[in-house]
Amino acid sequence: MSDKPFDWGRTDRSEEEAFGTQVAAAVLNAAADAVVACDREGNIRLWNPGAERIFGFSAIEAAGQSLDIIIPGRLQARHWDGFRKMMASGQSRYPQGHLLSAPGRRKDGSQLSIEFTVVALRDGEGRISGLVAVMRDVTARFEEMKALRKQLREGAPA
């Protein structure tokens, strides 16, 4: 997480800012990456088309719900423990750009493997007001890795 102001690398800042807004809107409105934002209480405040695609809940269904809708039951206590610590300290315990991975849950109850980054949202006084996660479904690759490890353990031929 960086507090550094964005440097557009060019001189005409208003043009740059308009372009930055266009780029950000394109990512947010696309279904390529899941972008999910929640408030300090962990309730969903933004759910983009990528989140709809990956998790199966529509934006209407997800809005206002707890993040628990996408967290397998057995992992919820651990999730909220880390969530509350980040809210209290205002900082992640991971280094900048750290790629997190965790099992997630779809609307139909099936499990998936996600990889995600987390960025803090801050209010006008710099206090943490929520979190944004950018998430990807990496189930196929995760299963492939698991199969390779199993083959190695069992000494099976490649």
Distance (Å, rounded) from C-alpha 158 to C-alpha 147?
11
| Options 6, 73, 93, 108; binder of a copy of itself; rule CB under 8 A | 6
Rg (CA), the chain: 18
| Binding of a copy of itself by 144 (CB under 8 A) | yes
Q: Is residue 24 a contact partner of residue 16, using CB atoms and an 8 Å limit? A: no
| Binding of a copy of itself by 91 (CB under 8 A) | no
| Options 9, 93, 108, 125; binder of a copy of itself; rule CB under 8 A | 9
| Binding of a copy of itself by 32 (CB under 8 A) | yes
The token duo for 5 is 């102001």
Distance (Å, rounded) from C-alpha 105 to C-alpha 137?
11
The token duo for 13 is 């800042």
| Between 81 and 152, CB nearer to a copy of itself | 152
Longest dimension (CA), the chain: 61
Task: Give me the residues paired with residue 136 across strands.
Answer: 115
User: What is the chain's percent helix, strand, coil content, to nearest 5?
Assistant: 40, 25, 35
| Options 12, 13, 18, 27; binder of a copy of itself; rule CB under 8 A | 27
Residues between 42 and 81 with contacts to a copy of itself, criterion CB under 8 A = 45-50, 53-54, 58-64
| Binding of a copy of itself by 145 (CB under 8 A) | yes
Q: Which residues bind a copy of itself (CB under 8 A)?
A: 1-2, 4-10, 19-33, 35, 37, 45-50, 53-54, 58-64, 96-99, 115, 117-121, 132, 134, 136-138, 141, 144-145, 148-149, 151-153, 155, 157-158
